[in-house]
Chain A
Amino acid sequence: MAIRRRTVVSWAAYLAGALRLSGVRAWAQTANFPADRQDTLHALAAVVLPAELGAAGIDQTTEAFARWVRGYRAGAEMDHGYGMTRIRSKGASPAPNYQRHLEALHEALLSGDADSRRQAVTAALEQAKITDLPRTPDGRHVAADLMAFYFRSSDGNDLCYRAAIGRDLCRGLDGSEQAPAPLKGRA
């Protein structure tokens, strides 16, 4: 009986240590994202974001995504909904998963031609069984999440409609009866 208790205690201690260790690692990976995979993330962005953004626009979006990851707060309260109420909190940081995905894509994205890079990303998404863009990035795959980050954003919405809608901005009421102005620099 005493042995069993000791075993349980030692396993609990090991588990707590492992959790602490993985927690620290996750925190570090979040705070430093994308760490030494900056080039891979930018190469991925060039594949999954629209060329219409231009090289500078793709870089800006990539940096914004990295900032988003660094600003992620695991365990933060989520909206508890209306009608179907549930207390929910944000899951673990997606950063460790993203680092693994970038690691796996590193070679394919930094070598080969555009077609092979697209094929590598497509294969990774198929393998991860991603069926659609998440509403907000959920950590299942960095490629899907980077696309969701941009295409579901206010800026992505503007690009689709080629109009300065500014969905997430506070824009004032004046002039809202007019169609939004065309996006500057884009026909």
Chain B
Amino acid sequence: MPRYESDVCIIGGGITAAMLALKLSELRPELSITVVEAGKRLFDTENRMAYRQRTIDYAENAWPGDFIEDQAAQGVISRTMAVGGSALHWGGTCNRFSEEDLRLKSMFGLYTDWPLAWTELEKFYCEAERRLGVSGEPSPFAEDRRSEPYPMAAMAMTHNLIELKKWADQSGIPFQTTPQAKNTEPYDGRAKCIRCNTCSICPTGARYSPDYTFRRLLQRKNFALHDQTLVRKLVLDNAKSTVAAAEAVSYQKPDDPVEYRAPVFVLASGYCWSPHLLLLSRSSRFPNGLANTSGLVGRYMCGHAFQSAMIEIDARIYPGMNEQHGLISRQFFRVTDREHFVRHDLRVWESASGHEPRLRGADGRILLGDSLLADWRQRAQRGTARVRGYYDVHPDRDSSLTLDASIKNRFGDPLPKIEHRLDAATQARRDATREHFQQLFQKLAQAGNGKVLNTGAGNYLDHPAGGCRMGADPASSVCDSFGQTHDHENLFVAGSPTLPNAGCTNGTLTFVALTLRSAERVAARFPKG
């Protein structure tokens, strides 16, 4: 059986693993690091323009081969399993959480607090923004004060966004452009954005993608990346509670198991596969899985809910100028009325919704050629704003990831099943939250002689996290604020699984900030010199 030894073994190959490995390699260049990832490495940057074109022309997958057919989970938000993870095709949005997210209990008497000070997290937000290359502008709210400026100037607003901001500002709600991990100048060896309008497959590298970090790491002699290798179980040292090895299997040689040994293991497999591996690693000594004395591995699975609207406005919008770049208001991150808790972000993008070409006119008759074009032009006189709010919801303990014995992968391992459940306080707020958004959408519409075309509510929780939540008390959490598990001193969990709650805006920057902080604790475990 092949056995690989390193100082740090990182399980999972997404953005968390990339950032952790990069920082560790800088803090302690002498450490050997191995990253083990189930998916493939998709490093053929030379083909990305062609993949992009096939996606536009044929709706083909822009990242061919980025999944494993039988490694699926019920309730998972993305099937992507490849070196780079979901951040291969993320939109690059880099919003910060706010202090309220970390202080729900002490500020509002809700859910729980994080065992982490906001000022501490804020330092690592700055570092995350530097490493990812975030372009942005400061928030107008004092509560969002930054200790460092953004590393790059904000992306210029397109004509469309200028028009949308004029409209949205009339509502009295302050908006700014959304910070993004996209280069507005050449940055960190990657090109400036050339506005391809397909950020999910950025053909130039202007939008940060972890594969760039991995390729850089591979130039180091003591860094190894083992892709197409699935870790199936963590094994403890005899009579000790430290992790001794990770048992894995290569998809290319499935009959020849692989073993990884290291003094430190870091689970960086995201909110789904990290708790899944801990649960799979059960043994006679730990019948409920590793790191699970609290019984909370795979519990408090979280995310944020969302409400959206399409609003027709009096503005000349040219759909397609830069659909990925939008506006955000952080006004509703704060709660002024504690009796009516609704926290959310508020986002605006250009859209063609309601103004797309159609085959049948209002009377149902088929339109061809000139008549279709005339109908389209007539309806396209006004613009459309796509508006969405991610709102803060809190998980119940039974918001869970469990092993589903009825569905197994080719190796016989039960696969995960995620079922989100919201706590009683969140459920009690449901109607008031919906009403709040309906009023807000109407207020925005009225500000610009607009009309709400339609509204909708998400039927899943976006930017999911949790499953190994952090806390100071081992009885009510899986790990501490550095991701170090309470039960196994050499086992860390990094990034999204450690979040107790998922805030009310995109989570990636927070996952990265927490990971960079974890890296310092991991590095500190190795004596210098």
Contacts and interface: CB of A to CB of B under 8 A. Distances in A.
The answer to whether A binds B is yes
A163 B156 contact: no
Interface stretch (A14-22, A79-87, A100-108): A79-87
Given A85-B77, A132-B358, A178-B159, A68 B192 contact: no
B61 A79 contact: yes
Contact of A165 (B59, B155, B320, B373): B320
Contacts of A84: 460
A36 interface: no
B177 to A, nearest CB: 12
14 contacts: A72-B58, A79-B55, A79-B59, A80-B79, A82-B78, A83-B462, A87-B72, A122-B368, A131-B359, A152-B356, A161-B319, A170-B195, A176-B159, A176-B322
A90 B57 contact: no
A26 interface: no
A52 B368 contact: no
By secondary structure, the A interface counts as loop
B370 A51 contact: yes
B57 A68 contact: yes
Contacts of B318: 161, 163, 165, 179-180
Interface string B306-321: 0000000000101111
B195 A87 contact: no
B343 to A, nearest CB: 22
Interface residues of B, number: 59
Contact of A131 (B184, B360, B460): B360
Nearest to A168: B56
A42 interface: no
Interface residues of A, number: 59
A133 interface: yes
Contacts of B320: 154, 157, 165-168
A71, A72, A84, A151: which has the most chain B beta carbons within 10 Å?
A151
Contacts of B372: 50, 147, 151
Contacts of A76: 54, 58, 60-61, 64
A126 interface: yes
Contacts of A80: 61, 67, 78-80
Given A80-B79, A179-B159, A159 B195 contact: no
Contacts of A152: 356-357
Interface string A56-93: 00000000000010011100111111111101001000
